[in-house]
């Protein structure tokens, strides 16, 4: 074990932390948008991620069967499709359920939990109970090794890039686009926004759908890391919640910082101690900090 080996491992370890950060951020982002902007907790968030993941899986199956020559390029297309499907699902659910419950935020939590149960059973009935995993294009497999001994995972790089694109997109859209303006107006004063001619209902629906769409993209990205089953959503949502809660729910910046903090803590802890211990340590830290700052790292300024 010489110095350059150690350096390589250090670099790879840094990257491991970064890619975990990307994963957590991507998971939490959609949830944070919906909660931060609308005050709605979407318990079906994980299932929207599963929709994204299943889209990729079906995409890979269809491509393999009907157009094997397209295998190298199907993935980005399927990611876009994943966004669209999850977006459409979100739109539908906002229209049919959520909009009736804005005055009762705790009830949205129960209703969306019901939706998540129904979606799980749909996955089980229509796709099957087994865990599936799409056939990935070659450029997503294996590692990029600029020098011998240094292996940077390609799926990690992909997720990192995707997260960067999505996060920047969301931040830009919120600060620059008409939608962003409407959302910010609606958040700060719903009645006033309505009075100035902003269709707040449409804004809400769009926001919810975009949040779900991002969940779909997140799910799509995870197919490069793990597998997808009917109950995968429940696994995802736990991490998403921790990130958003810890970050302070209402703030996107908080979500970013908290994802980074959790990822680095866990990744470093995992390197120096057994995995289960590391998870425990991370969770304990989160709890202790939440006890001291129950409103999360970046609480909104508005007093309750």
Partner 1 sequence: MTALRDLIKRYQLASVLVLTLLLAVVLPLTLDIFRLNLVGKYLTYAFVAVGLVMVWGYGGVLSLGQGVFFGLGGYAMAMFLKLEASDPITTKIQSTPGIPDFMDWNQLTALPLFWEPFKSLPFTLIAVIAVPTLLAWIISYAMFKRRVGGVYFAIITQAVALILTVLIIGQQGYTGGVNGMTDLKTMLGWDTRTNGAKYILYYVCVALLIGSILLCRWIQTGKAGTLLLAMRDKEDRVRFSGYDVANFRVFTFCLTAALSGIGGALFSLQVGFMSPSFVGIVPSIEMVIFAAVGGRMSLVGAVYGTLLVNAGKTFFSESFPDLWLFLMAALFIGVTMAFPMGLAGLWQDHVVPWWAKRRSEMRKDKAAAARRAAEDDASGAAPEAAAKAPRAAGTPERLGDVAGQRA
Partner 2 sequence: MSQPENPHDRLKGVSDSADAPSPFRRRILQGLSAMPILAVPGISLAQKFPTAKVNTTKLAMTETEVTVGQLHSSTGTMAISETGSIQAEQLAIDQINAMGGILGRKIKVIKEDGASDWPTFAEKSKKLLINDRCATVFGCWTSASRKAVLPVFEKENGLLYYPTFYEGLEQSKNVFYTGQEATQQILYGLDWAKNEKKAKSFFLIGSDYIWPRTSMKIARKHIENFQKGKVVGEEYYPLGSTNFGSLMNKIKLQKPDCIFAAVVGGSNVAFYKALKAAGITGNKQLLLTLSVTEDEMTGVGGENFAGFYSSMKYFQSLDNDNNKKFVAAFKAKYGPKSVIGDVTQAAYLGPWLWKAAVERAGSFDVDKVVAASPGIELKQAPEGYVKLDANHHLWSKSRIAMGQPDATFKVVAESPQLIKPDPFPKGYQ
Q: How far apart are the C-alpha atoms of 283 and 167, rounded to whole Å?
A: 25
Q: How far is the CB of 85 from partner 1 (least distance, A)?
A: 20
Among 137, 169, 180, 226, binds partner 2 (CB under 8 A): 226
Among residue numbers 168 through 207, which ones bind partner 2 (CB under 8 A)? none
Q: Is 11 in the site for partner 1 (CB under 8 A)?
A: no
Q: Which is nearer to partner 1, 79 or 263 (CB)?
A: 263
Residues 6+ positions from 296 with CB-CB distance below 8 Å? 245, 246, 247, 248, 249, 251, 254, 258, 290
Contact between 219 and 49 (Cβ < 8 Å): yes
Q: For 149-285, where are the E strands, in sequence order?
A: 152-153
Is 120 a binding residue for partner 1 by CB under 8 A? The answer is yes
**C-alpha–C-alpha distance, residues 60 and 249, integer Å:** 35
Residue with tokens 């705790």: 106
Compute the least distance from the CB of residue 18 to partner 2, in Å. Answer: 9
Write a three-state SS string for 158-170: HHHHHHHHHHHHH
Query: Which stretch in 71-79, 145-153, 173-181, 192-200 sits in contact with partner 2 by CB under 8 A?
Result: 145-153
15 binds, among partner 1, partner 2, none (CB under 5 to 8 A by kind): partner 2
Instruction: Give whichever of 107 and 199 is closer to partner 1, judged by the CB atom.
Output: 107
Whether the Cβ atoms of residue 263 and residue 21 lie closer than 8 Å to each other: yes
Altogether, the residues listed in the chain come to a count of 304
Task: Indicate whether 75 belongs to the interface with partner 2 (CB under 8 A).
Answer: no
Site for partner 1 contains 194 (CB under 8 A): no
Nearer to partner 2, 264 or 300 (CB): 264
**Cα–chain center distance at 1:** 38
Residue recorded with tokens 């799409």: 134
- Choice between 89 and 153, CB closer to partner 2: 153
Minimum CB distance to partner 1 smaller for 125 or for 177? 125
Residues sharing a CB contact under 8 Å with residue 129, sequence separation 6 or more, in sequence order: 229, 230
- Per-residue binding letters, 229-268, with partner 2 (x by CB under 8 A): xxxx--x------------------------------xxx
Q: Which residues contact 99 (CB under 8 A, 6 or more apart)?
A: 201, 204, 205
- Whichever of 145 and 164 has its CB closer to partner 2, that residue is 145
Strand partners, 144: 152
Which of 10, 39, 128, 142 is the binder for partner 1 (CB under 8 A)?
39
Residue 35 interacts with partner 1 (CB under 8 A): yes or no: yes
Q: Which does 58 bind (CB under 5 to 8 A by kind): partner 1, partner 2, none?
A: none
């Amino acid at each position: 074990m010489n110095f350059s080996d150690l350096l390589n491992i250090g670099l790879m370890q840094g990257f491991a932390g970064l890619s975990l950060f990307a994963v957590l951020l991507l998971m939490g982002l959609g949830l944070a948008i919906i909660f931060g902007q609308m005050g709605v907790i979407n318990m079906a968030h994980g299932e929207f991620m599963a929709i994204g993941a299943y889209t990729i899986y079906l995409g890979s199956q269809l491509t393999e069967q009907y157009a094997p020559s397209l295998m190298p390029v199907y993935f980005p297309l399927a990611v876009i499709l994943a966004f669209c499907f999850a977006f459409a699902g979100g739109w539908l659910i906002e229209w049919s359920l959520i909009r009736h419950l804005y005055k009762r935020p705790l009830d949205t939590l129960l209703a969306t939990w019901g939706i998540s149960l129904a979606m799980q059973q749909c996955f089980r009935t229509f796709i099957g109970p087994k865990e599936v995993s799409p056939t990935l294009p070659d450029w997503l497999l294996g590692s990029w090794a600029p020098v011998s001994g240094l292996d940077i995972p390609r799926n990690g790089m992909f997720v990192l890039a995707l997260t960067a694109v999505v996060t920047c997109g969301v931040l830009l859209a919120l600060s620059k686009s008409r939608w962003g303006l409407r959302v910010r107006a609606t958040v700060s004063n719903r009645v006033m926004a309505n009075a100035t001619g902003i269709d707040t209902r449409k804004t809400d629906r769009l926001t919810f759908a975009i949040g779900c769409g991002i969940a779909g993209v997140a799910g799509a990205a995870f197919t490069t890391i793990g597998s997808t089953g009917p109950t995968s959503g429940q696994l995802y949502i736990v991490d998403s919640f921790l990130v958003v809660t810890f970050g302070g729910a209402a703030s996107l910046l908080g979500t970013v910082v908290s994802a980074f903090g959790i990822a680095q803590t866990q990744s470093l802890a995992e390197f120096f101690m057994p995995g289960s211990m590391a998870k425990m340590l991370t969770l304990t830290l989160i709890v202790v900090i939440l006890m001291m700052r129950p409103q999360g790292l970046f609480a909104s300024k508005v007093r309750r």
